């Protein structure tokens, strides 16, 4: 018996996140470890997800692994500069970064 199963994963790649943000989804930055300042830079652990108007969430994953290998990895950002660079690359004109473990900040693309 071979049935086709329509499985929608709660993950997205960078390209998918860009598309969802353009469709109006909110992009959230989640702090997973309190950042520490080392010289002029901040090092910590952040991940990102999108949230649609229906509340459906999708976590950003790396595109380097294949779903068929069951090896999906959450994309982690280890510097505040990395978070800022990613958000600006998506199209945001501002970047807000949570600086305590468990905190979240939200971003939405503004249409002109």
Residue 14 in tokens: 């960078």
Crossing angle for the helix pair 80-90 and 14-22, to the nearest 10 degrees: 50
Indicate whether 58 pLDDT > 60: yes
The count of C-alpha atoms lying within 13 angstroms of the C-alpha of 107, restricted to the half-sphere facing its C-beta, is 27
- Backbone phi, psi, residue 107, to 5°: -135, 140
> Cα–Cα distance between 39 and 79 in angstroms, integer?
12
Indicate whether 70 pLDDT > 70: no
Q: For a pLDDT cut of 70, what percent of the chain falls above it?
A: 84
pLDDT score, position 9: 75
Ordered by start, the domain boundaries in the chain are 11-63+72-105
pLDDT grade, residue 31 (50/70/90)?
very high
């Amino acid at each position: 018996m071979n049935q086709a199963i329509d499985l929608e994963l709660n993950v997205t790649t960078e390209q998918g996140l860009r598309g969802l943000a353009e469709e109006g989804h909110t992009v959230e930055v989640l702090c997973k470890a309190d950042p520490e300042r080392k010289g002029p830079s901040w090092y910590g652990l952040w991940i990102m997800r999108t949230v649609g108007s229906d509340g459906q969430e999708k976590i950003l994953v790396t595109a380097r692994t294949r779903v068929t290998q069951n090896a999906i990895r959450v994309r982690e950002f280890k510097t505040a500069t990395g978070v800022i660079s990613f958000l600006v690359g998506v199209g945001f004109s501002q970047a807000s970064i949570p600086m305590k473990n468990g905190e979240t900040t939200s971003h939405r693309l503004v249409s002109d």
